[in-house]
Every structure is written in structure tokens, then in C-alpha cells.
Amino acid sequence: MLIPQFNGVKAIYFDLDDTLCTYWDAAKAGLRKAFEDHPEHGSTPEAMLSEWAIAFSSFVETIGKTHWYEKYCASGEITRVELMRRMLERLNIFDEELAFRLSHTYHVERQAALELFPEALEVIQKLAKEYPLGLITNGPADIQQQEIQKLNIREYFPHIFIEGEHKIGKPDERIFRMAEQAVGLPPEEILFVGNSYKHDIVPAIEYGWKTAWIRRPSDVPPSSRTGKPEERGEDSVAPDVTISDLRELLS
């Protein structure tokens, strides 16, 4: 049973990365391993990481408006290699083959390190007995499917919406409306649980959903300049609840 704030909620959607599973921690572990394993050309892992972070930030800012978006939706590999290539280029290293190998190690190690947060399975299992559950997750189709597979949680989520499969991602209204249709409920009877204020919480509030914002200390991208999880401005819209552990959703 959900806490009283969510009386009237009849279905629950979750974000995946850094809401249910340790994506940024896994990504950092994967990058570290990749850069340590390939010390060619004399660059240090620290230098590679900091150049990768710069390349990553500028890439994600524009990806939706470029030809890369179509490729990114279908497969994580093409853009992952491209980011490594750009990182190397920033270090004056022009080596396509090395970009490919770095990308491969990063992918394998990130996937190996990815796990559910300690309380996630217990909470999902309890809620799945009482509510239809779903996922709305951004990212390439193949990567998100592999994550769901690796985490072994597919059976709990009859409704799964992946950006790469629909070529529509959060915060786009259409993906939330598709999710409403899938459970056949009006927005006010659906709860969204997510870690990203900008991509999960703000749009869900705007489209009339109930919201739970989960904030975890590990929620810091490798490209972060502050080293801290995302903040929201004082005048910004507030979620119904802010939590740091998924068990806080349960009464």
C-alpha cells in the first residue's frame, strides 16, 4: 500500500536509471576500467575522463537536433564509440580502433556493474501485487532492454516505454500520454517515481500526474561540475513527496 499522499493512485510508473538501478555509479566504474585498461598514447585515465565528460556534455545537449538521434535511439554503440573518438581527438589522438576498444570495455564493465538499489526489488515486488507497474526510461532501445534483462525485473512491469523504441523521450508529453493510455487511467490516478527533476518530475506534474522525486547521493553524472545531485530552484514546482529510499513510498 502506498502512503496516504497517494490515495487515489491506481497505477505507478518508474524511471529506471538512478531511480531503480545504479546507472551513474556503473558508468563511472566502466569508464575508469576502460581508461585504465587502455593506456596507449600516454594519456592518463584522469585526463581521458575529464575530456570524455566535456565531449559528453556537449554531445547530449545537441543530440536531439542532429542526425545522431536516430542512431542513438536504435543502438548505444554508435554514439558510445563517437564519444570516445571525440574524447581522443580532444587529446590529439586520432585512433578509430582505440575508440572502438574503449567503447567496448566501457559498455561491458558498465553493464557488469549495474545493479538494483538494495531496497528496489522488495518495493517493486510489494507494489506489483497491488498496482499495475510500468517503466518510462530514456536511452537507446538495445541498452535499455539489456538493462531490464540484466536486472531481471521485466516480469513486474507490464508497461514499458523506452525512448529508443518510440523515438520519443521524457520530458515529451506524448510518452506520458501513451503511458496513460496503456493503463487506461486519467493522469491524476497515476504516480511517477523518478530521480531527474527536469526530465521526470517537472513534466509529470505538468501533465497532471502524482509525483515522487527520489534523490540519492550516488546520482551524480561523471560530467557533473558540482559533484552533487540535481537541485531544484526555490520557486520551481514541488513534487508531492521527495524521498531518498523507495521504501518511503510504502505505508
Instruction: Please report, as ranges, the residues that interact with Mg ion according to CB under 5 A.
Output: 15, 17-18, 195
CA distance 51 to 31: 12
Cβ proximity of 124 and 133 under 8 Å:
yes
Task: Name the minimum Å distance from CB 215 to Mg ion.
Answer: 11
Pick the closer one to Mg ion by CB: 21 or 102: 21
CA distance 37 to 45: 9
Of 249, 231, 180, 176, residue with least CA distance to 206: 176
Pick the closer one to Mg ion by CB: 24 or 35: 24
Task: Name the minimum Å distance from CB 21 to Mg ion.
Answer: 9
Pick the closer one to Mg ion by CB: 47 or 220: 220
Cβ proximity of 83 and 56 under 8 Å:
yes
Task: Name the minimum Å distance from CB 194 to Mg ion.
Answer: 6
Task: Name the minimum Å distance from CB 45 to Mg ion.
Answer: 26
Pick the closer one to Mg ion by CB: 18 or 51: 18
247 Cβ neighbours under 8 A, 6+ residues apart: 119, 122, 123
Closest residue to Mg ion, Cβ-based?
Answer: 17
- C-alpha cell of 183? 493503463
CA distance 20 to 162: 15
Pick the closer one to Mg ion by CB: 6 or 23: 23
Task: Name the minimum Å distance from CB 17 to Mg ion.
Answer: 4
State the Cα angle at 46 between 44 and 47, rounded to 5°: 70
